[in-house]
Amino acid sequence: MKRQAKAIKEVPAILSPTGATLPVGTIIDYWQARFRNGEWHYVLRNETTGEKTTTPCIFFDDLEGVEA
């Protein structure tokens, strides 16, 4: 089961999992959500490198799980 979230606000490049600004409507796949530094963050894993990054959840609306 893959978890997804859709951007409801433009995500600044410094907070983006890709390092580039994400426009409203962008859908991301995430691994899990964690409470960190006083707010919820999505943990994302790069499929190629396995490296993990985090992005604040406040920029996204969680979508229901979809089949991978």
What is the structure's pLDDT at 55?
87
**What single-letter DSSP state applies at residue 24?**
T
pLDDT at 36: 85
Phi, psi of 19 (to 5 degrees): 85, 5
- pLDDT attached to residue 17: 78
- Spatial CA neighbour of 62 closest among 2, 5, 11: 5
Express each pLDDT in 7-24 by its tens digit.
999 999 888 878 889 999
